[in-house]
Amino acid sequence: MTVLEQQSDLQQEFVQGDLGAFETLFRQHQSEVYRWVVRIVRDPGAAEDLTVETFWRVYRAHARFRPDGNFAAWTRRIATNAALDHLKMSRPETALVDDFPAEASPNPGVQRDLRERTARAFSRLPAKLKIAATLALIEEQPYTEIADALGISVGAVKLRVFRALRLLRKNLRQLGVEP
């Protein structure tokens, strides 16, 4: 029996609700799911919980999965939705203050302050834009992968990244940072 046939049988058993098959798939894919989620939420503890949450959703939906389907891609999309839900629930940081003075000299204190302001500006983005910006601009993932994971077109990903950049520029200006 080839590896492909074994995988197909495993997925068939998973679709029928076999816990052993689910455990095997879990162990095969947990690291990959974790790596994807931690890129988005940037918190190892939350990423572990979200990995479990992802597989919980996967297990509940086992009957809807096609046995010949791409388990990794399906799981990644579910993981992305779980991470999106997490970002929506986590509260953004303190409200923006309009009258921060602009920065001029680059010294360590100023650099730290700049990083804090940038992080604050970023935290104010809506979750959907934040996820696109994180994956595209910080993690530099290919647009096609981001599109697959979010279940949208590449054009829609580019639009979200563009909107995120525009909003970030506005938020940064409000915080006294001139990009």
Planar angle of CA 151, 83, 20, nearest 5 degrees: 85
What CA–CA distance (Å, rounded) separates 151 from 149?
A: 6
Interface with another protein includes 65 (CB under 8 A)? no
- Is 44 a binder of another protein (CB under 8 A)? yes
Give whichever of 2 and 94 is closer to another protein, judged by the CB atom.
Answer: 94
Rounded-to-5 percentages of helix, strand, coil across the chain:
75, 0, 25
Task: Report the number of secondary-structure helices (H) and strands (E) in the chain.
Answer: 8, 0
The set of long-range contacts for 91-94, using a CB threshold of 8 Å and a minimum separation of 24, is: 92/123, 92/124, 93/119, 93/120, 93/123, 93/124, 94/120
Three-state SS at 158: helix
Q: Which is nearer to another protein, 5 or 101 (CB)?
A: 101
172 binds another protein (CB under 8 A): yes
CB of 116 to another protein, least distance (A): 8
Interacting span for another protein (CB under 8 A) from 71-79, 96-104, 141-149, 158-166: 158-166
Binders in 99-118 for another protein, by CB under 8 A: 111, 114-116, 118
Contact positions vs another protein (CB under 8 A) = 19, 23, 26-27, 30-31, 34-35, 38-39, 42-44, 48, 51-52, 55-56, 59, 111, 114-116, 118-119, 122, 133-134, 137-138, 162, 165-166, 168-169, 172, 177, 179
